[in-house]
Structure 1
């Protein structure tokens, strides 16, 4: 296999990044692998859960970027990597890891990935999903209550004190590094087709 290419999908929290990546992956599962930057939040065994819940996970310092970059380089070298697995309920990494095999296309899912020069330098293509913040907040409240054990009050408090300030400080400015800006995921299949045309040669057309 030739050197895999990396596509970064960035944007605000709950903008639809994961949904878009999963939709693209479903169309070509044999030729794509997914790396989720959320899995690279630091190990926090030494911190009690009640303190973990108050940390700022929207700041770049919350993620072990050096390990993520190491794994991206290994995937580009056609090596298998063992990605961490992160639990948003425990606010900590799990003991188990996730095996990621190199594929022609590596889809990197991460709201802060375009804000990090050492990460975006590895991208062949970058996409920013520019969903309005009110829609993102509504989605985040529903998601975090349903899957992350949060209350609506906790989600709103985190959003006002951490998520929104970090969006304006780190995520929104990173939009200028994107090759393609998608206003929302309303036309997800059309964007998938556009990407497929760009990626001809990396995806088997037969």
Structure 2
């Protein structure tokens, strides 16, 4: 893949806003031959030595919990047409796994994560970007359901984490980063409209 032909799209928004759904819908619309998705969640720093209990002291929503320097370096390599080895993070053990996942650059790379627009070393690689600015109550209910059903967490732990860590970090780092987005979704009624608009921007 020639570097000049690679188009990188950043998709951000609060936890539970639907950003991952947007990223994967975009991936489906563009097709597996043309598109791949790079998730911020893969770049968590190993927290196993610090993790105390579900909803405890480890703040997973602070930028310092993510290796954004590595993520930015990987985006630079993908933009240059090079394969990268994406880390794997286990949300049950809170460890970075020994194995990595090779990612071969496609014509379109969709980058999904709550903080990707807040970090200049990541944001500088985006050709366009989307931010989902969804009300807090909707985001909390979505996160509660996901974390309990998919990540084996407790209702109490999810609630404590959301209101002591997720909300403050959202207000401080995530929501202000929407100012860097080219496309803004504030209501799900425009979800498909923005999806089509972004897909149409991708060079053929």
Q: TM-score, normalised by structure 2?
A: 0.92
Q: State whether structure 2 residue 182 is matched by structure 1 residue 179.
A: yes
Question: Per-residue deviation at 1:48?
Answer: 5.6
CA shift for structure 1 position 144:
0.4
Relative to structure 1, the CA distance from residue 184 to residue 101 in structure 2 (aligned partners, 3 Å threshold; closer, same or farther) is farther
Deviations 1:111-160 (A, max 9, x none): 00111111111111011011111000000110000011111110010011
Structure 1 stretch displaced more, 86-95 or 8-17: 86-95
Structure 2 unaligned segments of length 5 or more: list them. none
Q: Does 1:22 align with 2:24?
A: yes
**What is the 5 A alignment of 1:1-206?**
1-3=1-3, 4-28=6-30, 29-45=32-48, 47=49, 49-50=51-52, 54-199=57-202, 202-203=203-204
Contact kept, 8 Å, 2:183 with 2:194, in 1: the verdict is no
How many residue pairs end up in the alignment? 200
Q: CA shift at 1:51, angstroms?
A: 5.8
Q: Alignment partner of 1:35: what SS?
A: strand
SS at match of 1:95: coil
- TM-score computed with the length of structure 1 as normaliser: 0.91
Structure 1, unaligned stretches of length 5 or more?
A: none
